[in-house]
Amino acid sequence: MEPIAFVRRTALGLLGTALGAALLTVAAHGSEAPASGSSLGLTIHGPDETLRDFCAWQEGRLWLTIPGSVRCELVTATTDPAIANPGDGHFHPFAEAEVRAALGALDYSLADLNAEVFLLPYPRRAGLESAAGPGIIFLAPGVWPLTPEHQHAEFVHELGHVVQYARMPDADAAGWARYRDLRGIADVSTYNASAPHANRPHEIFAEDFRALFGGSLARYSGSIENATLAPPTSVAGLADFMVDLAAANRAWAGAALACFPNPSNRSVSFSRPNGVAVPLDVFDLTGRRIVTLAPSTNAGATAWRWDGTDLGGTTVGPGVFFARPRDGGPALRVTRAR
């Protein structure tokens, strides 16, 4: 199994240090950002779920395995030599409620984004810090209880990496050239992937994302990691550039997936012509998976039926939901009426 490439977060790190020394005025971008906190394809796995469903002991070691993605050993004791500071002797994972609150406070559209967020019960031996790769985030526990501010800031920073991988990958030379010019980091001898952490373009992008679009707790420090750069809110056109990345990727607006009746307070049927017969996930606005629907096929079309109940068989209340097929196809907005 080939490991995915991760961006390691060292400025916040395992012990919850501050984002930077300089105090800079940072505010969230306002009305131009679409669909505040929209999170169609984010699935959040709490620490208990991660330990239960994705971890297994083998020869006295605990291994985290994400099918088709990564396998790594976890450090299960603060007395392990890998842990320089044992803190209070316990690992303290991120709280799922805080991660969802940070997501809800986000002022940026995640409409086309698919990602798995794992709240780790123990840190990874190969990288103790939180990390992000294409479509995946690992949030590492601390050796002291993590403050809400730390959790919001670190999660939104890592989410910025996922946004960058999806919407401005390294192969997008034109996009990166424009971003570097806007940000004043065109000098590749200073700002490159091998530079000190704060000078890496990926890290600067993730910090800009956090500072521009995160909620108040995510911006608690009033600073960005690289204090030598201008505050993101003072860079003309930067917020609009990042918002335009979202607008350019809203393929879901013309989704072939259909739902009838919509809105409805009863059962609904989904259909997609010429679609691959894959499961269909239904999420709420915070990215919580409500239910997974099995497909059926007829005359080349794929269909799913939702009776309005969740994974436990309980009828969900009125609200806005999003349905997304597991083959990476676009999501569809679904409204359950009163």
CB of 11 closer than 8 Å to CB of 198:
yes
CB of 319 closer than 8 Å to CB of 330:
no
- Structure tokens given for 208: 């800009």
Distance CA 183, CA 181 (A): 5
What would the mean pLDDT of 302-330 be, rounded to a whole number? 86
Distance CA 276, CA 302 (A): 7
At residue 212, does pLDDT exceed 80?
yes
H helix intervals, 77-187: 96-104, 148-167, 173-183
What type of residue sits at position 272? R
At residue 328, does pLDDT exceed 70?
no
Residue range(s) in the chain whose domain bears CATH number 2.60.40.1930: 253-336
Tell me the pLDDT tens digit for each residue of 256-266. 788 989 888 89
At residue 248, does pLDDT exceed 60?
yes
pTM over 0.75: no
If you write DSSP's letter for every residue of 32-52 in order, what string do you get?
TS-STT--TEEEEE-HHHHHH
CB of 74 closer than 8 Å to CB of 4:
no
CATH 2.40.280.10 fits 253-336, yes or no: no
What pLDDT is recorded for position 246?
78
Distance CA 67, CA 100 (A): 24
What's the chain's Rg over C-alpha atoms? 21
Tell me the pLDDT tens digit for each residue of 28-70. 222 233 333 434 578 899 999 999 999 999 999 999 998 766 8
Q: Would you call 5 exposed, middle or buried from its count of C-beta atoms within 10 A (0-12, 13-18, 19+)?
A: exposed
